[in-house]
């Protein structure tokens, strides 16, 4: 990759010159491009609403998408968007000043959803579910107003894994955040281009670039969340067996309906001798 001052997007000015950082940046860009291609996200000439919260993940998303666009590998228009939800202490000037300085097309929207959440959610309960629904509804509206075909979110590999286990433990289903979906109204795509990128890499990247990180706990609703509990479990597994997260993530791309128990996905009742199940090297029991 070229890092000359005359051949780099403003979002990368001041990037560390170390070999370690260059490898990190290359890995994130390659993994993002892989997800964009693999899940068919590109509609040439489309316009994407890139959602920017001010956290490490959304800064990484913004920078990498602009790099791909800068290199001619992402032929879409990018519009950054921050939704100020009226949380007490939210530094409202940080993102507008940053985006202006970087020359990034953007829209800043103020909607006091925080007051609605505080009014509707009982004391002692977490705000995240209602807050995210209200935020998503406003982002869909903004995308339509701006002529965008997709809302682009900064969820990474670890978010996807955590959601899988939250659904497994608490929802009794095998499901997670898909890298690409269509909203209920059927008029907008939702993309997660960082689907293959590790959270640790997002954190290293954003901090190395010294982006002005805005904390995600301004509402005070983060302690004791189910997601934090799942994250702790995954952290423990990763500590005891490095690489476990990546193996689990790969499993999400390698499902075998005939080796699960959902008759809606596989016709167990119609299975007869002589026809057999799809070719399989084993009976689904892993080697011990």
Q: 223 by DSSP, 3-state: which?
A: coil
Residues of the chain above pLDDT 70, percent: 89
pLDDT at 2: 40
How do residues 73-86 score in pLDDT, each as one tens digit?
999 999 999 998 88
Nearest Cα residue to 216 out of 48, 50, 58? 58
Q: What are phi and psi of 110, to 5 degrees?
A: -110, 125
Number of residues written out for the chain: 288
- Give the Cα-Cα-Cα angle 259, 161, 196 (nearest 5 degrees): 100
pLDDT of 140 over the 90 cut = yes
Q: CATH for 17-156+179-216?
A: 3.40.50.620
Q: Helical H runs in 103-225? A: 113-120, 128-145, 157-166, 199-208
Residues of the chain above pLDDT 90, percent: 71
Structure token digits, residue 173: 């289903």
How do residues 169-195 score in pLDDT, each as one tens digit?
989 999 999 999 999 999 999 999 999
CA distance 90 to 109: 13
Q: What are phi and psi of 184, to 5 degrees?
A: -60, -35
pLDDT of 198 over the 90 cut = yes
pLDDT of 1 over the 70 cut = no
CA distance 116 to 110: 14
173, exposed or middle or buried, with CB in 10 Å at 0-12, 13-18, 19+? exposed
């Amino acid at each position: 990759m070229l890092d000359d001052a005359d051949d780099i997007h403003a979002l990368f000015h001041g990037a560390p010159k170390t070999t370690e950082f260059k490898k990190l940046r290359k890995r994130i860009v390659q993994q993002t491009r892989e997800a964009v291609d693999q899940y068919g996200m590109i509609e040439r000439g489309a316009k994407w609403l890139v959602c920017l919260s001010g956290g490490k993940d959304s800064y990484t998303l913004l920078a990498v998408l602009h790099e791909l666009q800068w290199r001619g590998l992402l032929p879409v228009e990018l519009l950054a968007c921050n939704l100020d939800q009226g949380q007490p202490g939210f530094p409202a000037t940080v993102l507008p000043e940053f985006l202006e300085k970087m020359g990034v097309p953007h829209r800043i929207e103020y909607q006091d959803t925080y007051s609605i959440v505080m009014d509707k959610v009982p004391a002692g309960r977490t705000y995240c579910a209602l807050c995210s629904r209200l935020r998503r509804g406003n982002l869909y509206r903004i995308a339509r107003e701006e002529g965008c075909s997709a809302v682009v979110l900064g969820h990474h590999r670890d978010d996807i894994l955590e959601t899988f286990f939250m659904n497994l433990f608490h929802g009794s289903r095998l499901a997670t955040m898909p890298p690409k979906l269509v909203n209920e109204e059927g008029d907008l795509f939702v993309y997660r281009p960082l689907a293959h990128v590790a959270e640790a890499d997002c954190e290293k990247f954003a901090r190395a670039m010294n982006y002005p990180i805005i904390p995600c706990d301004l509402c005070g609703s983060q302690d004791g969340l189910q997601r934090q509990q799942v994250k702790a479990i995954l952290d423990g597994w990763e500590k005891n067996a490095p690489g476990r997260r990546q193996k689990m993530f790969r499993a999400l791309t390698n499902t075998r309906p005939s080796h699960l128990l959902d008759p809606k996905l596989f016709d167990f009742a119609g299975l007869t001798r002589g026809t057999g199940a799809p070719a399989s090297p084993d009976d689904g029991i892993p080697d011990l």
